Amino acid sequence: MSTIKEWIDESDVYMLILGGRYGSVEKTSGISYTELEYDYAQEQGKPSFAVVITESALEAKICSNGTRWGEKENPKELSLFREKVLSNISSFFEDHKDIKLCVHESLADFAANRDLKGWVSADEIIDTKPLFDEIKKLSDENKALKETIANLERRAATVNKQDVQSEKFTELQKVLNKIDIKIPANLADGEERTVDLLSLFFKNKEAIVNGVTNSGQASEAESFMYHNVCPKLQVHGLTINEKVSGVRYRRSCVSALGNAFLAQMERKIVLAEKKTEAAEEKTLNSGENEPLVNAPTKKKVARKAKITPKA
């Protein structure tokens, strides 16, 4: 029963399919586990519905398949349980098609009229509803980006694969640089800031490579990265969201494409540094005493936007 209660507590909706058997009986109470879990779901106010086999369908099954389809040991208990179920939200079924139809209609109604929260308890995560519209917008941008990339791939059919990927990453870098993320004051030294997505991704690459979760034990910074940054990167294929085995929470981490993208950015930084050093060395060897005007500096790929998790 402890396992049953835990599953019901973690579920959005409780559904009962009641056929012609009462089920295994719990010895202490003399009530079947099915009826006990049904009663518990009702006590918790859990959104629920039931589908109950019709008398004619049950009789037909018994006639065609034998008496094992009927309840022999606890017919009275089954009858009382059936009456209880039918007094609440329920419908009848005669075959599997009826069950499927009831499930689709009922769940659609619950989804449209209730704030369902899923396997992760709502008190463990921040409200992500505002992200839905943003994700839709980013999906449209991603579609346009894919069309651009497709055109680039056709033009670069004879070009080395690495060069093509570098060109794609350059376009992607421009897109991420135009997407702004608002960082709340408690994560930005007491003052709300707006930082581009590219900067957040690059400056926090170690944390995202290792993976950030929506665990109830996650820090504010980790939760912010999971809910506000990783979904936007996932739209462009730079992160993936996966189920963690053995726990209820999920994890977002850098994808294979994301790792290649980060490596490309780091290579650009190294090349820029080498060019700067070469220019400075050339100036020194020329014997000029005056400082070089507008000397090249290290290329700033990302503004400082690293989020430091609180203890």
Burial of 229 (C-beta count, 10 Å sphere; 0-12/13-18/19+): buried
Indicate the pLDDT class of residue 168, thresholds 50, 70 and 90: confident
pLDDT over 90 at 233, yes or no: yes
Tens digits of per-residue pLDDT, 147-157? Answer: 888 888 777 66
Share the mean pLDDT of the chain. 82
Count of all residues that appear for the chain in the document? 311
Q: Which residue has the tokens 């430091």?
A: 308
pLDDT score of 96:
83
Can you tell me the mean pLDDT for 85-108? 85
pLDDT score of 127:
67
Pairwise pLDDT comparison (169 vs 307), residue with the higher score: 169
pLDDT score of 300:
46
pLDDT over 70 at 237, yes or no: yes
Question: What's the rounded Cα separation, in Å, for the pair 93 and 57?
Answer: 8
pLDDT score of 118:
54
Question: What's the rounded Cα separation, in Å, for the pair 287 and 32?
Answer: 95
Can you tell me the mean pLDDT for 281-296? 60
Question: What's the rounded Cα separation, in Å, for the pair 183 and 308?
Answer: 12
CA atoms within 13 A on the CB side of 54: 11
Question: In this structure, how many other beta carbons lie within 10 angstroms of the beta carbon of residue 115?
Answer: 8
Indicate the pLDDT class of residue 166, thresholds 50, 70 and 90: confident
pLDDT over 70 at 10, yes or no: yes
Query: 64 near 22, Cβ under 8 Å?
Result: no
The residues, ordered by sequence, that sit 6+ positions from 119 with a Cβ below 8 Å of its Cβ are 10, 11, 248
